[in-house]
Amino acid sequence: MSFTLRVAGDRWRAHTESVRKEVSNASRSSFVPVIKSDGYGLGQTFLAAEAMRLEADTVCVGTVFEVDSLAAVTRGDIVVLEPFEVRDVAAAEEWWRLGQRLHAGRVIRGIANLESLLALCSREGSARIVLEAKTSMHRFGFSESALLAALRDERVRHALATGRIFIEGLTLHLPMVQPVDEIAPRGVTDGTARAREVMRWAGLWQAETAVWSGHGAPANVVWVSHLDEAELIVIARSLDDTTLRCRIGSRLWLGDRKALVASGTVLAVHPLATGTHVGYRQRTGPKDGTLVVVSGGTAHGIGLTAPTPAASVRQRIVTAGTGALDAAGRALSPFTWAKKQRWFAEPPHQHHSMIWLPHDCVLPQIGDQFSADVRFTTSHFDAVIVD
């Protein structure tokens, strides 16, 4: 019983190498692979090894709870994307435990508010941090005025001067689509709204760090995400001495979907008479249909979907139609056989799914593979096989 992901190794690695070169050339700095959560379906350990093959000097993880497993299989720095929040008790305790480990000095944590920054400034030891700007995402971060106030706070300056904290730059998490409300800074006419937003923040950061000197000065580095090559080129060209570090995850690991094939193994094939009731919920299927049991269930992410953005009329119609089918007890599975996507007999079980095939369909054999169109970031595979 296996739900597997097959990776066309040569093709997939050619893609990741191409992305590495494009991003590094456009940003004029080494790229930063993101390896978080389930490792985009491929697994964190596997992606960590690939990041090292790509000669990454820094990787990103999602939370502090992911640091230890990555530290064992990577070199260089590890950036934790979720900001440190001193009032998040469980995460704060894990940060404290992390501080006792040998790889603690490799870890850079994001800081998104003054309370958490001051908490680090007042503790023993030292911490490497990046300050997070509140971008048009409006998720975490300092506003421009709050950022400037934090850098001018005497407690923060004392912590910098005494080595209690080291600021490794400013980090920007950008939306996937272009910001609607972004206004171009004075004199800036090039680039998209995302690029202009970065240039605005980078200009502020560059002006602020330029007045610092001596020990403890914040690094003139801006960390970014969700930018294409054209945007990176425009931004890098506009910056003088600022280093631009580009985080990249989905496009790096999942950008060539044809190199990745998810599939479930056929475990049982049952031709059934019309009206036969099946499954936990004892539903009937098509006339003289065949029930096929395939590996891959909710434990693997089958049947788990994220809310649709429904940004267009077509997407809204599709969403409404899908909801109506679900309400009627019919749901299209992600599994394909004989070039057609097939219907669930009932909601997927924990480790396998029951699929209907019509009476005129070529029947599979036990051990055959049903390919599956899945969302990799919510998928868990029993095995990742690199061909």
Are 80 and 110 spatial neighbours (Cβ–Cβ below 8 Å)?
A: yes
Give the residue-averaged pLDDT of 321-339: 67
CATH architecture of 261-373: Beta Barrel (2.40)
CA–CA gap between residue 287 and residue 275 (Å, rounded): 7
Joined tokens for residue 285? 């299927």
CA–CA gap between residue 265 and residue 269 (Å, rounded): 11
Q: What is the per-residue pLDDT for 316? A: 39
CATH superfamily of 31-254: Alanine racemase (3.20.20.10)
DSSP bridge pairs for 385 = 6
Q: Which residue has the higher pLDDT, 143 or 191?
A: 143
CA–CA gap between residue 20 and residue 39 (Å, rounded): 18
Model confidence at 307: pLDDT above 90 = no
Where in the chain are the domains? 31-254, 261-373
Q: DSSP 3-state assignment of 316? A: helix
| Structure confidence by residue, pLDDT tens digits, 117-140 | 999 999 888 999 999 999 999 999
* % of the chain with per-residue pLDDT over 70: 91
The reply to whether domains 31-254 and 261-373 share a CATH topology is no
Give the residue-averaged pLDDT of 85-114: 96
Confidence of residue 294 (pLDDT cuts 50, 70, 90): very high
Are 137 and 98 spatial neighbours (Cβ–Cβ below 8 Å)?
A: no
CA–CA gap between residue 188 and residue 191 (Å, rounded): 8
Residue 327, phi then psi, degrees to nearest 5: -65, -30
Whole-prediction pTM value? 0.90
Are 334 and 373 spatial neighbours (Cβ–Cβ below 8 Å)?
A: yes
| Structure confidence by residue, pLDDT tens digits, 138-179 | 999 999 999 999 999 999 999 999 999 999 999 999 999 999
